[in-house]
Structure 1
Amino acid sequence: MELRRQRIPVPPGTTVILYATAPVMAVVGTARVAEVHVAEPDDVWSSFHAHTALTREEFDQYMAGASQACALLLTDVEQLPTPVPLAHLRSSQPFHPPQSYRYLASSVLRQLVDGHPMASRILRQTEATPS
C-alpha cells in the first residue's frame, strides 16, 4: 500500500518504480498498481491501515491538513537485489527524484538505468503487460 495526500491519476495495471529517499537514495524495486482509492483520511485509515507499515500517529502526522487521501494498492512487488543508487541515475543526465511521483517515458528510464546490473530487470518489469 502506498499512501499519498493527493489523488494520483494512475490507472490500475501501471508499473511503478520504487525509489527510497535518504539515507538509501536508490531505486529499490518495482510494483504494479492494482487499485486506487481516494477518500477522506479517516476513511482510508479505516479501510487500509492493516496494509500499511504505519501507526495511527504516523498516519495522522503525514495526513495533517489533507482533505483527501489516496491509497494505491500495489501488487507484484519486487525488491531489487541490487538497488540502483542516485549517483547512477544521475550519471547519464540530470535527475532529481520527485517529491511525490513522476511519469517517465520508457526511453528516459532506459537512459537512467543503462549500465546497471538491474537495468534489464527493471525494463522487463515496466514493459510487461498485466495479466
Structure 2
Amino acid sequence: MNGIKMPSNILLLSIRPKYAKKIFEGNKKVELRRVRTRLDKGDLVLVYASSPQKALIGSFEVDRILEIPIQKFPEDLNKIWNKVSKKAEISRQEFDIYYAGASLCVCIFLKNVQLLPTPINLTRLREEFSDFRPPQSYHYLTENEFKMIKYIAQNNTCSVSDY
C-alpha cells in the first residue's frame, strides 16, 4: 500500500480466506458479488480475509466492473458463468448456490494485486484503530481511515501473541 495515491473510492471487502488466497496467488482474477457497489475503474479494494483468518492481507485495483441483471434462471446465469468461469476460481455448484435467488451479478475484475508483507490481524487493527469493525460484506473507507490503515501496514510487526 506504499505509494498508493488516493483513489475515488476505497472499499474494505471481506472475502473468505480460501478465495482471498486464490486472489493473491494470481489465480482468481474476478471477485463476484450479489450487491452493487460504487466502485469504478482505478478504485482500490483492501482485502480483509474473514474468519478464521481475521486479517487485512492485501489490496487490488479495480480493472473494470460488470453488472449483470439476473432475470431468467438459469439462462442468465449460464451466460455469466461462461464469461467468468475461468477467472472466478469457484466451481459451478458454488456459483449456482451463491446466486440462487439473486437479482444481480457484480463482477469486479482485478489488477495490481498486492499482498501485504505481514497480514494485519484483527487484534492489531483494533489496537491502533479502536473503531475498526470488519464488514459483513464491504465498507467504504474515509480518507482518514485509509491513512490509518496505511500507517498500520507500514508499521506492522508481529508480536509473540500472534503465534
- Fold in common (TM above 0.5): yes
Correspondent of 2:54 among 7, 25, 34: 25
Paired position in structure 1 for 2:38: 9
Correspondent of 1:69 among 105, 109, 112: 105
Residue 84, structure 1, aligned to residue 120, structure 2:
yes
Residue 96, structure 1, aligned to residue 96, structure 2:
no
1:105-124 per-position Cα deviation (integer Å, ceiling 9, x unaligned): 1211233453x4x337xxxx
Corresponding residue SS for 1:28? strand
**Match for 1:34: what amino acid?**
D
Normalised by the size of structure 2, how large is the TM-score? Answer: 0.67
Shift of 1:15: 0.9
How many residues are aligned here? 119
**Match for 2:46: what amino acid?**
I
Give the percent of matched residue pairs that are identical in Structure 1 and Structure 2: 34
1:13-62 per-position Cα deviation (integer Å, ceiling 9, x unaligned): 00110110011100111100010001136132221111011000011111
User: Unaligned regions of 5+ residues in structure 1, if any?
Assistant: 121-131
Normalised by the size of structure 1, how large is the TM-score? Answer: 0.82
Q: Which moved more, 1:66-75 or 1:35-44?
A: 35-44
**CA separation in 2, counterparts of 1:71 and 1:13?**
15
Correspondent of 2:95 among 26, 34, 59: 59
Q: Which moved more, 1:37-46 or 1:52-61?
A: 37-46
Residue 35, structure 1, aligned to residue 64, structure 2:
yes
**CA separation in 1, counterparts of 2:146 and 2:130?**
11
1:48-105 per-position Cα deviation (integer Å, ceiling 9, x unaligned): 1110110000111111110111000010011112101111111132221112211111
Deviant stretches of 4+, over 4 Å: none
Corresponding residue SS for 2:109? strand
User: Unaligned regions of 5+ residues in structure 2, if any?
Assistant: 1-29, 71-75, 156-163
